[in-house]
Structure 1
């Protein structure tokens, strides 16, 4: 996201479309709409800090935070005093996914460092590209990008986990096929092994091993059902090196032996 546009290049009231941009502004930048606007605004702060002022008060939006301004809300937003505000934004019409979020006049949600921030920045990059290029299906592609960001926020708000446990869950999903050592996971998230084990159980309701096995079994079942993998192949695909252990856990979870499950799926 290296290209900047000037805010004055865009109209205050936008037509029923999707439009996005990338601003990098000093603290003289502000936008006032006493009567609100007909569409929604979503922003993601890359660096610096901005503010949103509505009838219910003021909220700041700093680096790694998403701001969502509802339609019809009188507002002012701009760069926080003494700061710069480097952010990407998009105007869009109301989507079903907004109903999953709190009815705040402006919602500001902080993303944890790492994967989620990178994912949202990349999604915005795709959105800006599609909205400018306007090739086939551009509008649907832009909507899907916005839907993805809204759903990520809704997912985090539904059950907000400790950022270190979120990081652990992502590491488990990425290394599912490999041998997983709790001491290595703990070092990656800056906790002791015992503290990580306790916090993981507290946040998710299951141990790290229980979660890993459940994830592996679910993936193995999908591979047998949809990809035609044999029980042995599926067990190796997801990281089980001991077939008997896999078969025992699978039977306990699904009530059927994995080879029978694979055969039923083929039939």
Structure 2
């Protein structure tokens, strides 16, 4: 039985195309472009697994991963044998953010579970909507969503943190205003408290509580400097319930009291 090639649906569109879609394909799905294309392709696998073959070899793209195929590269891609491939895709012209990526024919990057993956999913949903509706300013909105995806991948490659530590950082950021105990963070990332504590210090060079306090203090300083919040208001905004504790940590970090910092703006 011949493999199914859906390339006719969009292969003849010109370079610098802005086009997005969502496919759910069996292992008959196959796209072959021996001459490559003039634009870039970005794919996010939702479930199942796909593959990409270029002159440099083959790379697989399972669930939770993004693949970025550079312009002008001869290639073929499709669903892995025995699998189904559920994925978002988008074609786009070269953007300045592509310079942040390594010079690979096709780059595959894992997105850790949590906010990063959700953010990428939302960006693809926006691409799909803008590509279909093409209402006012859709091209600028489409480009912005692509830029966000490229930066998320570049950020992921730059950090190269253990995925569980990335999840922990996302958890701290999202819950900064609440009382956070080590046990709660550990449960959120599927580790024991002792293992998380050791791994976090190994990856981030500081204990998890020190990192959380630093995050809170930096946010408090920004709120006082740019949002007109008082020292007391800022301390509560970022999750400190004890002002004296907040003030002592703030002075240690910035060399001035919170009120002195607030009054100096």
Cα deviation code 1:195-237 (max 9, x no counterpart): 1111100011111111111111111111111111111111111
Runs (5+) with no aligned partner, structure 1: 1-5
Larger mean CA deviation between 183-192 and 104-113 belongs to: 183-192
Name the structure 2 match of 1:102: 102
Once residues 16 and 184 of structure 1 are traced to their aligned partners in structure 2, the CA distance between those partners, rounded to angstroms, is 47
2:29 aligned residue: 29
Residue pairs, 1:12-23, within 5 angstroms: 12-23=12-23
Please name the residue that 1:209 is paired with.
209
Aligned residue in 2 for 1:170? 170
* Equivalent residues of 2:113, 2:167 under 8 A apart: no
1:15 Cα deviation (Å)? 3.8
User: How much is the aligned-residue C-alpha RMSD, in angstroms?
Assistant: 1.4
CA distance in 1, matches of 2:7, 2:56: 25
On the 8 A contact 1:7/1:23 being kept in 2, the answer is: no
Q: What's the counterpart of residue 237 of structure 2?
A: 237
User: Could you tell me the TM-score, scaled by structure 1's length?
Assistant: 0.93
Q: Runs of 4 or more off by more than 4 Å in structure 1?
A: none
Q: Which residue of 2 aligns with 1:54?
A: 54
User: Hey, what does 1:3 align to over in structure 2?
Assistant: none
Question: How much has 1:13 moved relative to structure 2?
Answer: 4.4
TM-score normalized by the length of structure 2 = 0.94
Between the two proteins, the alignment pairs up a number of residues equal to 260
Other structure's SS at 1:191 match: coil
Q: CA deviation at 1:17?
A: 3.0
- 1:114-153 equivalences in 2 (<5 Å): 114-153=114-153
CA–CA distance in 1 between the matches of 2:71 and 2:15?
A: 13
CA contact (8 A) 2:114 2:170 kept: no
The answer to whether the 8 Å contact 2:41/2:91 transfers is yes
Provide the secondary structure at the position in 2 that maps to 1:102.
coil
Q: 1:131 to 1:121 in 2, by over 3 A?
A: same
Whether the 8 Å contact between 1:35 and 1:73 is mirrored in structure 2 is: yes
1:45 touches 1:65 (CA, 8 Å); kept in 2? yes
Contact 1:13 1:38 in 2 (8 A): no
In the TM superposition, residue 32 of structure 1 has moved relative to its aligned partner by 1.3
- Structure 2 unaligned regions, length at least 5: 1-5
d(CA) in 2 for partners of 1:194, 1:79: 41
Contact in 1 for aligned 2:33/2:76 (Cα 8 Å): yes
CA-CA distance at 1:87 after TM superposition: 1.0
Return the offset for 1:8. Answer: 3.1
1:178-193 equivalent positions in 2, closer than 5 A: 178-193=178-193
